[in-house]
Chain A
Amino acid sequence: MSSATNHTARREGFGSRNVFILSAIGSAVGLGNIWRFPYVAYEGGGGAFLIPYLCALLTAGIPLLFFDYAIGHRYRGSAPLAFRRMHRAAEPLGWWQVLICVVIAVYYAVIIAWSAMYTWFSAQLTWGKGNENDFFFGDFLQMGDVGADGVSTQFVPQVGIPLIAVWLIVIVIMCLGVQRGIGASNMVLMPLLTVMFVVLVVQSLFLPGAIDGLNAFFTPDWEALADPAVWAAAYGHIFFSLSVAFGIMVTYSSYLKRKTDLTGSGLVVAFANSSFEILAGIGVFAALGFMAAAQGSDVAGVATSGIGLAFIAFPTIVSNAAGGSIIGVLFFGALVFAGITSLISILEVIVAALQDKLGWSRIATTLVVSVPLTIISLALFSTTTALAVLDTADAFVNAFGIMAVAFVSVIVVSWVLHKLPALQEHLNRRSSFAVGTIWKLLVGVLSPIVLGYLLLSEILGKLNEPYGGYPDWFIAIFGWGMVIVLIAGGVVLSLLPWSKRSHAKDDPEYDAYLADEGYEPDVETGLQGVREEGASR
């Protein structure tokens, strides 16, 4: 028994299923639910969009969520370790996902920082009525031109200082660990976010013109259903919205107890995420209806998404509405909370991977991960060219990072490693909602077809014209170059050996779990156990 103290620290875990569910919802509900869904739905046929949306949720979103849960829970590791345990050659998929999370984390944090500043600005209407657009790009971001001046190093304090604060907060949460940090912050922030958003929606509904906004949002345009682009938009949206296929759900589900109802939990997470989106759609379009009425235009003229919706349209609404400051504080506060709960899940993918690989303690690993990320985040996103870098990195990492790794993962797992039957069996061991052949067909056949179509159309779109009108060298570095580095980096990281202290080589808990569940012993940890037993004899 001499090995007891030499063993790698036990992996952490969520204290209960409910903490896991709230954390998974916290991860899935992010900025996209609030600022992306309403416009995607409006553009995709309004009320008629519900049909492709529900189809995408039921045939791709939920099946892929189960797929991630099954991998994380069956192989009980961070993304690289879980894929390595599935098959040694699949490990690069896990590191590819980790590197995708590195890119997303550095820019996601700055949007939270902007939102935090706008929460404060809303209380005082700092931008000045009628000046919302110029204030954001000029006074606040001090936006420079990458075409003329290249990537700037000029520090913008009103962005950089809150960005440091955001990183400090998430570093503290990450240092506190899975249960006391991630779990506890989700247990507080998610109910708070829900209450804030409900109040925001109710208040928006009482604005003059709100009903016109809802009318525009829900009036069905049935002809949109004949357009393949609308269906593609629904699948693309569901896919990003549920945070599937880039390591988050694999990592979180590896922290679940062994005997957990995976599919029952997954259904709650998926429908909670969609429920929040519908709520956001109502709130955002009620507010846009008011904005249209105030400007004497129609809803089509003011409808927008993303940064334009949050940082230009919403400030305009805040300036003009009675009680606008309250709306602004609730809206931007919701963005901050939704953003933080998603950012910590993105960081956990990286921290968990390194913890598994190096066998280090929680705090040491968190600091080794987050201090460099903070520096990169500050270097790129607290300067005058932040928006251009963010916009490009976001567009490319979504299309050729997340979507590409999802496409490759489902094909490798389904058709090269033939693991779907084993994952199906694992899901069905204790789950209340049994999955069968249909699930295997949806993951193994429909998902790769849809993802392949989306990926191809993204590649063609971005090859045909330079994204966002940025210079070629800029797109080559922050667009194509970045996504290629993610893949190459994934392969390189898989070639680095795992230390003897790592969970890949030494994990008595995993060995015990495999024995209890009647699974084959792991080729690496299992051998280690046998060797030690032999030595102690």
Chain B
Amino acid sequence: MSTTAVIMMAISMLTVWGGLIAGIVNLARHPEEDGHEPAPPVEL
């Protein structure tokens, strides 16, 4: 693989997969507050 291809591959992986990890970390820091909300009904 050419150097530029390797660099672009690394940047693609870092930005997109890094974005996913950052998103998950952000969400984990803001846990769901569903204390007094009733559970939705389950049919059947």
Q: Which residues of A approach B to under 8 Å, CB–CB?
A: 9-17, 21, 46-48, 50, 54, 175-180, 211, 214-215, 217-220, 255, 257-261, 264-265, 267-268, 270-272, 274-275, 277-278, 282, 361-363, 430, 432-433
A260 vs B8: C-alpha distance in the bound complex, in angstroms? 36
State the majority secondary structure of interface residues on A: helix
Please indicate the chain B residues that have their CB under 8 angstroms from the CB of A11 in the complex. 40
A18 CB → nearest B CB, Å: 8
B33 and A259 within 8 A (CB):
yes
A9 and B26 within 8 A (CB):
no
Q: Can you list 17 A-B pairs with a CB-CB distance of less than 8 A? A: A16-B34, A50-B12, A179-B40, A215-B5, A220-B4, A220-B8, A259-B33, A261-B30, A264-B27, A267-B27, A272-B20, A274-B16, A275-B17, A275-B20, A282-B9, A361-B43, A430-B33
A452 vs B6: C-alpha distance in the bound complex, in angstroms? 36
A271 and B32 within 8 A (CB):
no
State the majority secondary structure of interface residues on B: helix
Task: Identify which of B1, B19, B44 contacts A274 (C-beta below 8 A).
Answer: B19
Most central of B6, B9, B39 by chain A CB within 10 Å: B9
Give the residue name and chain of the B residue nearest to A216 (CB): B5
How many A-B pairs have beta carbons closer than 8 Å: the answer is: 125
A148 vs B17: C-alpha distance in the bound complex, in angstroms? 50
B3 CB → nearest A CB, Å: 10
A15 and B8 within 8 A (CB):
no
Known: A264-B27, A265-B27. A177 touches B43 (CB 8 A): yes
B10 CB → nearest A CB, Å: 9
A456 CB → nearest B CB, Å: 30
Task: Identify which of B1, B13, B24, B29 contacts A268 (C-beta below 8 A).
Answer: B24
B8 and A218 within 8 A (CB):
yes
Please indicate the chain A residues that have their CB under 8 angstroms from the CB of B40 in the complex. 10-15, 178-179, 255, 257
A48 vs B7: C-alpha distance in the bound complex, in angstroms? 11
A271 and B5 within 8 A (CB):
no
Task: Identify which of B2, B16, B24 contacts A278 (C-beta below 8 A).
Answer: B16
A271 and B16 within 8 A (CB):
yes
A218 and B43 within 8 A (CB):
no
A260 and B26 within 8 A (CB):
no
A47 and B5 within 8 A (CB):
yes
Task: Identify which of A17, A47, A175, A180 contacts B42 (C-beta below 8 A).
Answer: A180
